[in-house]
Amino acid sequence: MGFVTCKDGVEIFYKDWGPKDAPVIHFHHGWPLSSDDWDAQMLFFLGKGFRVVAHDRRGHGRSSQVWDGHDMDHYADDTLAVVNHLGLKNVVHVGHSTGGGEVIHYIARHGQANVAKGVLISAVPPLMVQTESNPGGLPKSVFDDFQAQLAANRAQFYRDIPTGPFYGYNRPGATPSEGIIANWWRQGMIGGAKAHYDGIVAFSQTDFTEDLKKVTVPVLVMHGEDDQIVPYADSGPLSAKLLPNGTLKSYPGFPHGMPTTEAETINADLLAFIRG
- The answer to whether residue 141 is catalytic is no
Residue of 106, 114, 92 lying closest to 208 (CA atoms): 106
Residue of 93, 66, 122 lying closest to 219 (CA atoms): 93
Distance, CA of 172 to CA of 189 (rounded, Å): 28
Q: Which of 34, 97, 122, 204 is catalytic?
A: 97
Q: Is 240 helix (H, G, I), strand (E, B) or coil?
A: helix
What is the residue-wise DSSP string for 154-174?
A: HHHHHHHHHHTTTTTTTSTT-
- Determine the residue type at 171: R
- The answer to whether residue 239 is catalytic is no
Q: Which of 29, 70, 223, 256 is catalytic?
A: 256
Burial of 207 per CB tally in 10 Å (0-12, 13-18, 19+): middle
95 DSSP β-pair partners: 28, 120
- The answer to whether residue 235 is catalytic is no
Q: Which of 227, 234, 235, 239 is catalytic?
A: 227
- Phi/psi-derived region of residue 82, left when phi > 0, alpha when psi is between -120 and 50, beta in every other case: alpha
**Tally of CB atoms within 10 A around 69:** 18
Q: List residues with catalytic annotation.
A: 97, 227, 256
